[in-house]
Homo-oligomer: A and B are copies of this chain.
């Protein structure tokens, strides 16, 4: 067995071409040997003269490393007696402890994680990141059409001088200028008459759903969820222990009468009235009145997730539920993820006045306001008129992309898929032959590099014919033929008659 000093010398490998200075390399390596127990407390190190010769290092380099190790207590210098390893680092005996077996996830899930964690076991958090041209994932927009040059200029405008306003903890409710711009936008676009004081900025709709679940619901409280419906919202409510009651969707949207008949005690309704997620139906005016009247009469909460209201290509845009509600029961949730971009991580909630203070308090417990810089840039983008123009351009672009993709799909796969174009949103529904399992098909297509979602993934109880969600917003007209060809090839490879 090597002597401790030999151990030290043998283990040190210096890279003279590295950008890391030699003294720092030496420092890190000695420290690691001490922390891992290879060099134990009380051991005397070779003199700097010896080390200097063995390692071919100047004594200055050695002393620099030793000074730092001594300052941190890893080494102890005894005047006239040399340098020793500090003995505080010695953990146990003189044998190296056997490396402990890492705990297994299966053990953890059963005994070491919270009970609520079973609500989200199996949720996939993997992100599909490679840029596959054959992907039809619904959340992929036309990133290349984003006005990046303008955005960069606004970023620079707010990055001139370091200031407490931009760098410090911002307004917890969100930047006033952004809240004001949102209040004006939702009035113009969605008929919502609210003040900036009722607007709270969040890091996206998903954060809003979690905050609202925590604020308004107790474990086991019943909640109506649309069936098929928003997967991530449902999991958020379940993670907070709520009991989810599926309410079916028909051509008028959520079936309020079914909800009242089957779960009249629901504390909260989660709904996507502008464009039902994922089917794309618009909640009818009559159903809106039913829902609002019931919520008012029984003091229930309604979360209106206004997803994709900006991206409407045809059919009538109805004002938000929030705008029709006279009883302060509706909470409106909007996001910039679709109309600007997901990684901006900005969304907003418009609250009845009495909920503002408790919502902000809970928000302070969970998180702070999103980065002020990005809020300031978004506020300028809105108040200077770029936002409305951008939405208009994206709407035209996505409408053209949908028509093009529908044309190609019908020509190439019209005998196999029944295509339902949508009036709004970023994906269409492609109905499969009735005997197929859409989850199987989606999984197998992904194996061939063609990414879609299965409609069944969105269903709670309800039986719907098999279908795939095909995102069209990320498919430029010039790519449609190639992407559909890849889909055709993949379906052929699965043995489907295409």
Contacts and interface: CB of A to CB of B under 8 A. Distances in A.
A163 to B, nearest CB: 6
Nearest to A242: B114
Contacts of A121: 358, 361
Interface in A368-395: 368-374
A124 B362 CA distance: 10
B114 A341 contact: no
Contacts of A368: 203-204, 206, 342, 345
Q: Which of A99, A100, A116, A366 has the most chain B CB atoms inside 10 A of its CB?
A: A366
B139 A169 contact: yes
- The complex is assembled from copies of this chain, and their number is 2
Contacts of A139: 169
Given A72-B317, A108-B358, A358-B117, A123 B365 contact: yes
B352 A102 contact: yes
Contact of A342 (B131, B168, B343, B352): B168
A214 B116 contact: yes
A251 interface: no
A435 interface: no
A106 B342 CA distance: 37
B366 A236 contact: yes
Interface string A285-326: 100010000000001010000000000000011110001101
Contacts of A145: 162
A364 B122 CA distance: 11
Interface residues of A, number: 119
A129 B165 CA distance: 8
A345 B214 CA distance: 22
A392 to B, nearest CB: 13
A438 interface: no
Given A127-B169, A146-B162, A362 B120 contact: yes
Contacts of A203: 203, 367-368, 370
Given A88-B285, A362-B239, A204 B367 contact: yes
A357 B148 contact: no
Interface string A125-162: 11101010000000110011110100110011001111
Nearest to A327: B100
Given A358-B108, A368-B342, A73 B168 contact: no
A239 B365 contact: yes
B345 A371 contact: yes
Given A105-B357, A129-B165, 8 more contacts: A35-B324, A103-B352, A114-B216, A127-B172, A151-B159, A206-B368, A214-B239, A373-B374
5 contacts: A127-B169, A140-B164, A143-B164, A144-B163, A345-B368
